[in-house]
């Protein structure tokens, strides 16, 4: 049995929700409210579970033996690779060594270059510590999105089919779609990125993505 600690608007949790859906895995979804009361992720109970005080975190209960602690895993990409190895059906990475490497590289170009600069804790720092106004925060947000999406668009020209890499859903799609959802919240003009727009449209027709979308979560509000 799997338990996923997440939050409806967290891009990283959104990635894992798509992975679970795509692979047809049941998981209990537990909401950790990232804003209420200074953020439930910082409360003692959750911090003990995940010392990084971030969502998502996955618990794989099956791994627990009598008297043993359950297996807890943080970091969305590590969680998805774990799920993909443990439950190989509907693989999210190609078998071929070179293809797999390219998919990982595309995923990380979002997960290591764009998302870390534009997530909640960074935007909070910009407001609270640097006292940036909305215009300066928006410029920051757009800068990193534009830089990341420009590079990603070039990769799509080379590698995309119906989805980011060829015609199967991969880890790269799981990173792109939540980042675009996030970009839309910040009114990013996506017209310079026709392949991104096309692929997001293709993915968002699939149940795995629809059911994982923030607005369709029980804790959305």
Choosing from 67, 97, 167, 187, the residue that interacts with a second copy (CB under 8 A) is 97
Total number of residues that touch a second copy (CB under 8 A): 44
CB of 43 to a second copy, least distance (A): 15
Residues 26-55 that bind a second copy (CB under 8 A): 51-54
Q: Is 109 in the site for a second copy (CB under 8 A)?
A: yes
CA nearest to 90, candidates 171, 180, 10, 156: 171
Q: Is 217 in the site for a second copy (CB under 8 A)?
A: no
DSSP annotation string for 43-70: SHHHHHH-TT--S-EEEEGGG--TTPPP
Q: Compute φ and ψ for 4, nearest 5 degrees.
A: -115, 120
Residues 167-186 that bind a second copy (CB under 8 A): none
CA distance linking residue 204 with residue 200, whole number of Å: 6
Count of residues making up the chain: 221
CA distance linking residue 7 with residue 93, whole number of Å: 25
Q: Is 17 in the site for a second copy (CB under 8 A)?
A: no
Interaction site with a second copy (CB under 8 A)? 51-54, 63, 71, 73-75, 77-79, 81-82, 85-86, 97-98, 100-102, 104-105, 108-109, 111-113, 115-117, 122, 125, 129-130, 132, 136, 139-140, 143, 150-151, 154-155
């Amino acid at each position: 049995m799997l338990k996923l600690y997440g939050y409806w608007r967290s891009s990283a949790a959104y990635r894992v929700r798509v992975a679970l859906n795509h692979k047809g895995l049941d998981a209990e979804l537990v909401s950790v409210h990232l804003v209420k009361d200074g953020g439930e992720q910082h409360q003692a109970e959750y911090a003990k579970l995940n010392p990084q005080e971030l969502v998502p975190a996955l618990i794989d209960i099956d791994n627990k033996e009598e008297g043993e602690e359950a297996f807890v895993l943080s970091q969305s990409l590590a969680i998805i690779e774990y799920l993909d190895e443990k439950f190989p059906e509907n693989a999210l990475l190609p078998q071929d060594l070179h293809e797999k490497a390219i998919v990982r590289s595309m995923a990380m170009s979002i997960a290591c270059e764009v998302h870390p600069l534009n997530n909640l804790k960074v935007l909070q720092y910009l407001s609270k510590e640097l006292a940036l106004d909305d215009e300066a925060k928006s410029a920051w947000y757009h800068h990193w999105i534009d830089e990341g999406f420009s590079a990603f668009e070039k990769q799509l020209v080379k590698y995309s089919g119906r989805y980011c890499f060829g015609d199967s859903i991969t880890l790269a799609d799981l990173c792109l779609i939540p980042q675009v959802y996030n970009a839309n919240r910040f009114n990013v003009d996506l017209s310079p990125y026709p392949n991104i727009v096309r692929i997001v449209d293709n993915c968002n027709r699939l149940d795995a993505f629809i059911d994982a979308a923030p607005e369709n979560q029980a804790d959305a509000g």
